[in-house]
Amino acid sequence: MSIVFYYAPMSSAVTVHWALEELGVPYEAVRLDLAAQETRRPEFLAINPNGKVPALVHDGTPLFESVAILIHLGETFGVERGLFPGPGLERAKAIQWLVWCNVSLGEALARFQRNVSERIPAEQRNAKVGELGRADVEAHLDILEAALRQGPFLAGGRFGLADLHLAGIVAYLGMLGFDVKRRPAIAAWSAACTSRPHYATAMAP
Provide the residue ranges of all domains of the chain, joining segments of one domain with +: 3-78, 89-196
Question: Given this model, what pLDDT does residue 1 score?
Answer: 83
Question: Given this model, what pLDDT does residue 139 score?
Answer: 98
Q: Which secondary-structure segment (H or E) carries 61?
A: strand 61-64
pLDDT in tens, 174-190: 999 999 989 999 999 99
Question: Given this model, what pLDDT does residue 205 score?
Answer: 82
For domain 3-78, give the fold. Glutaredoxin (3.40.30)
pLDDT in tens, 189-203: 999 999 999 999 999
Mean local confidence (pLDDT), 113-138: 92
Within 10 angstroms of residue 161's Cβ, the number of other Cβ atoms is: 30
Question: Whole-model pTM?
Answer: 0.94
pLDDT at 142 over 90: yes
Within 10 angstroms of residue 79's Cβ, the number of other Cβ atoms is: 16
Question: Given this model, what pLDDT does residue 160 score?
Answer: 98
pLDDT in tens, 158-168: 999 999 999 99
- 27 CA to centre of own chain: 19
Report domain 89-196's class: mainly alpha
Residue 2, classified by CB atoms within 10 Å of its CB into exposed (0-12), middle (13-18) or buried (19+), is exposed
pLDDT at 111 over 90: yes
Distance in angstroms (rounded) separating the CA atoms of residues 189 and 180: 11
Amino acid at 105: L
Question: Given this model, what pLDDT does residue 119 score?
Answer: 83
Mean local confidence (pLDDT), 101-109: 97
Mean local confidence (pLDDT), 67-89: 98
